[in-house]
Amino acid sequence: MAVLVQKFGGSSVGTTERIHNVAAKVLKAKKQGHDVVVVVSAMYGETDRLIQLAQSLSKSPSAREYDLLVSTGEQVSMALLAIALTEKGCSARSYTGVNAGICTDNVHTKARIIDVKPDNIRRDLAHGHVVIVAGFQGMNAHGEVTTLGRGGSDTTAVALAAALKADECQIFTDVDGVFTTDPRLIPEASLLPTICYEEMLEMASLGAKVLQMRSVEIASKHNVPVRVLSTFNEGPGTLVTLEEKIMQKRLVSGIAFSREEAIISLSGVPNKAGVEGYILACVGEADIEIDMIAQNATDGVHTDFTFTMQRNDYPKTLKVVEQLANELGAVSVKGNPRVAKLSLVGIGMRSHTGVASTMFKALGNVNINIQMITTSEIKISVVIEEKFLEKGVRAVHQAFELDRITTVKHQAYMES
Amino acid sequence: MAVLVQKFGGSSVGTTERIHNVAAKVLKAKKQGHDVVVVVSAMYGETDRLIQLAQSLSKSPSAREYDLLVSTGEQVSMALLAIALTEKGCSARSYTGVNAGICTDNVHTKARIIDVKPDNIRRDLAHGHVVIVAGFQGMNAHGEVTTLGRGGSDTTAVALAAALKADECQIFTDVDGVFTTDPRLIPEASLLPTICYEEMLEMASLGAKVLQMRSVEIASKHNVPVRVLSTFNEGPGTLVTLEEKIMQKRLVSGIAFSREEAIISLSGVPNKAGVEGYILACVGEADIEIDMIAQNATDGVHTDFTFTMQRNDYPKTLKVVEQLANELGAVSVKGNPRVAKLSLVGIGMRSHTGVASTMFKALGNVNINIQMITTSEIKISVVIEEKFLEKGVRAVHQAFELDRITTVKHQAYMES
């Protein structure tokens, strides 16, 4: 018998028929003898409907009231799921974030969970109830409703799993798990049986929108085993866990990518101390968020400075940088608003220096020119022309044989 | 400066445009220097939508979860109104029933308010905020959400007004106030400037659906001045208050009526002690609710027993009564499923015995046969053929000159 936290997103509870299916899944786990806590999002479309109501009344709605308003979406889902479970003969009790003891800071609409006091939940589990909790919401120190921002239901689930010392936190989604890369782009992508927290964080932050980043951080900090799996298909999904618990060691685990990027290079900048900081400060003041940064001191006297940003910030950024080039006496400004970022992620590359050269060779073999490179301990990112993205991802995917990862049957609670 | 509680029903907050109008009304009172607490119902149609969701999942939804579900309807309205007020530059804070301190018993879906602890509200009023409270809901002793049943928002408003010792509780509706009778039937009906609690209770219980009965009971008990007025038209509405505060004394205040009634008479029942109780018990066991009861001991040996019920219970009731007639050796059973009840209400009739005879004469003058009569201290009810209802109401209305009540301008907070 285990303690399981199961999270179902908005599309999983999008209709009353789907809520019935979720109830059946929950009941199955309960009948296997597990203590089950379920976290639900709002029914698909409901949060947007509520936001539209608020915005039709005010361009910048009061944050306190906005939270009271949108938190009703999950409250509806939780009560409906409890009704569906009770109808199936399974006693179930639902709780809002406030009553589930989800304590947050005071930042309305983007609150962070700072503590969980699951006394009600523990008591109900001890009485044999299934407990359902509204995701995405909590309460501040004044007992007022706060919301965690979009995607916050994952975070609710993982934080609850940590507080309850759950055996597994199961995130049910509309995909089968975490893939080596986006299967919509590369159909031969493999489902990963396991991935470690660090890799998942890099994948999440790079645009693989399977799990919310904050939830992975909490899972990593409290060592909560998180399983990503499908609401609609059977299968063991992907277990996100500690590096040392992963049996099949791999050099790399996956390729994340993001489109809609732009790049700007400033070359021949006279290399004075603090010049990079000055450039970034000027760009930051124009409210532009920078992603990757690379710098080469070409000849000791001049330096080249390259960075990327979101594509729609490109025109604004170019203007700022051209002024800077004048001011600093730089030789040239070059830019490209149609690039993409491709990132190879793998905990194994920490100890294998050959990973980078294999990656660059693979791109070179298909004639893709790399415009920029940055690296971290478990990630190598390159910027390439967006039109070559698919070709590049496929080349790197094949070079590391990511299409040949076999799904070893590993234990999943819920699967019989 | 006064403390006002204003209640707006579902059609008053049915669209975001109407919510803007309500905000303007609230702001007007606030700008006149009053402390304002607003109670809102769910947006028109929202409660039904939520109930349908629940019923599509279960024929008898868990009452605890049902309350958590439907209470979101008012939570949405309250937050939207707060957003609209804030947009107009008026600081406003909304509270659910739980956070407003509305304490109820533990009867989910039909809870009764047993206490109000308006600490949050008092604090916010002292800080100059408008306070908005979700109607129709509260919390039980375990801190769980309960609902008061349909129409419960009036009760929330009056209970809050009592706890806050408000100067007036203003119930905004889609009618201009309380009329001498339903103006849809009798267009010459007059708007009553005032009515006392006892009369209002009789009017409410007799089918004049302006105010929920329970709210009038609480208002009467705590002596809360209640004003019924229109959300959409200007005007002072009707003040419901203590008898002794009403300046213009009237013999009678209004005529209530209800259609869809049926009558059954059992004549010639051998008059033994307890026979009436036995008849009622048998009818009650068949789950039939009886409204009016009259009994005449015709000759000392036999008795005639007549009562009314809702029309759709008539066939079932007739069957039960025919069996009873056999069993008790009654002479005959007669019934009519197409009758209506017409009731004259007035605190003044306590000291004027002539009221009944004026009423009966008025009906006789237009050839309406009275099938049954019951009386209480401030009410006379008769049963007549339903097809004569309009004629009967008009005759009695004219006999007491109810079409000539003049609306004396009396002080209403809000009206300038």
pLDDT at B175: 87
Q: Do A68 and B79 touch (CB under 8 A)?
A: yes
Q: Where in chain A is the domain with CATH 3.40.1160.10?
A: 3-244
Q: Residue with structure tokens 């309009």? A: B390
Which of B65, B76, B99 is opposite residue A69, by nearest beta carbon?
B76
- Of A201-215, A354-368, B159-173, B393-407, give the lowest mean pLDDT range: A201-215
Chain B residues with beta carbon closer than 8 angstroms to that of A15: none
Q: Does B79 sit within 8 Å of A66, measured CB to CB?
A: yes
Return the pLDDT at A320: 94
CATH code that applies to domain A255-402: 3.30.2130.10
Does A115 lie at the interface with B, CB-CB under 8 angstroms? no
Residues of A in contact with B96 (CB under 8 A): 68
- Percent helix, percent strand, percent coil in chain B, to nearest 5: 40, 25, 35
Lowest-pLDDT range of A6-10, A243-247, A252-256: A243-247
* Nearest C-alpha neighbor of B200 from the set B136, B160, B254: B254
Of A57, A78, A80, the CB nearest to B53: A80
**Average pLDDT per consecutive 10 residues, chain B (416 residues; last block may be shorter):** 94 95 96 97 96 96 96 98 97 96 95 95 97 97 89 93 97 91 91 93 75 91 95 91 83 91 92 83 89 80 89 94 91 94 91 86 94 90 95 95 72 48
Can you read off the two tokens belonging to residue A278? 């000055």
Note whether B68 contacts A57, CB cutoff 8 Å.
no
Taking residue A299's Cβ as centre, other Cβ atoms within 10 Å add up to 10
Q: What is the average pLDDT across A333-344?
A: 95
DSSP-derived secondary structure letter, B79: H
CB atoms under 10 Å from CB of A32, counted, come to 15
Tokens 């069996």 sit on residue: B323
Query: Which among A15, A62, A93 is the top mutation candidate for probing chain B, defined by the most B β-carbons within 10 Å of its own β-carbon?
Result: A62
Which tokens is A234 given?
A: 């059977």
Cα of A241 to nearest chain B Cα, Å: 35
pLDDT digits (tens, 9 = 90+) for A129-176: 999 999 999 999 999 999 997 669 999 999 999 999 999 999 999 889
The pLDDT score that the predictor gives to residue A396 is 96
Average pLDDT in chain A? 91
Partner B contacted by A109 (CB < 8 A): no
**Measured between alpha carbons, how far is A384 from A91 in angstroms, rounded to an integer?**
55
A412, pLDDT greater than 60: no
Q: How far apart are CA A280 and CA A321, in angstroms?
A: 10
Residue A182 φ/ψ, nearest 5 degrees? -65, 115
The reply to whether residue A86 touches residue B53, judged by beta carbons under 8 angstroms, is: no
Nearest Cα neighbor of A76 from A14, A28, A160, A5 is: A14
A46, A52, A56, A65, best to mutate vs chain B, most B CBs in 10 Å? A65
Of A20, A64, A78, the CB nearest to B57: A20
Q: In terms of CA atoms, which chain A residue is nearest residue B61?
A: A83
Provide the chain B residues 38-67 that lie in CB contact (below 8 A) with chain A: 50, 53-54, 56-58, 61-62, 64-66
Q: Report chain B residues whose CB lies below 8 A from the CB of A69.
A: 75-76, 79-80, 83
pLDDT given at position A277 = 85
Give the number of residues written for chain A: 416
Query: CATH number of the domain at B3-173, please?
Result: 3.40.1160.10
Query: Å from A222 to nearest chain B CA?
Result: 31
Structure pTM? 0.85
pLDDT of residue A118: 96
B80 interface with A at CB cutoff 8 Å = yes
Chain-chain contact of B62 with A82 (C-beta, under 8 angstroms): yes
Q: Which residue has the higher pLDDT, A274 or A120?
A: A120
Distance CA(A328)–CA(B135), nearest Å, equals 65
Q: What is the pLDDT of residue B416?
A: 37
Nearest CA in chain B to A19: B57
What is the pLDDT, as a whole number, of residue A310?
A: 93
- At A87, the amino acid letter reads E
Does residue A207 carry a pLDDT above 80?
no
Q: Which CATH number fits domain A3-244: 3.40.1160.10, 3.40.710.10, 3.60.15.10, 3.30.360.10?
A: 3.40.1160.10
Total CB pairs under 8 A between chain A and B: 108
Query: What is the maximal distance between C-alpha atoms in chain B?
Result: 77
Residue B415 is predicted with a pLDDT of 45
CA-to-CA distance for B149 and B136, rounded, in angstroms?
7
> Please, which pLDDT band fits residue A409 given cuts at 50, 70 and 90?
very low
Pick A50's closest partner by Cβ from B66, B76, B82: B76
Edge to edge, what strands does the sheet with B290-296 contain?
A: B290-296, B302-310, B254-270, B332-345, B379-385, B372-376
- B68 to A143: CB separation less than 8 angstroms, yes or no: no
| Contact between B84 and A20 using a beta-carbon 8 Å cutoff | no
User: What ipTM was predicted for this assembly?
Assistant: 0.82
- For A276, residues 6+ apart whose C-beta sits below 8 A from its C-beta are A295, A303, A305
A124-156 exposure pattern, b = at least 16 Cβ within 10 A, e = fewer = bbeeebbbbbbbbbbbbeeebbbbbeebbbbbb
- Which residues 131-160 in chain B show a CB within 8 A of chain A? 143-144
Strand partners, A133: A39, A95
* Per-residue confidence band for A4, with pLDDT thresholds at 50, 70 and 90: very high
List every span in chain A annotated with CATH 3.30.2130.10: 255-402
The CA-to-CA distance between both ends of chain B, in Å, stands at: 14
Q: What's phi and psi for B61, nearest 5 deg?
A: -60, 145
pLDDT of residue A416: 37
Q: Are B207 and B150 in contact (CB under 8 A)?
A: no
Quick one: average pLDDT of A209-229?
A: 92
Least confident of A287-291, A297-301, B220-224: A297-301
CA diameter of chain A: 77
pLDDT of residue A402: 93
Write the pLDDT tens digit of every residue in A63-93: 999 999 999 999 999 999 999 999 999 999 9
Q: Say if the Cβ atoms of B53 and A66 lie within 8 Å.
A: no
- Is the pLDDT score of A411 beyond 60? no
Q: What is the Cα gyration radius of chain B?
A: 24
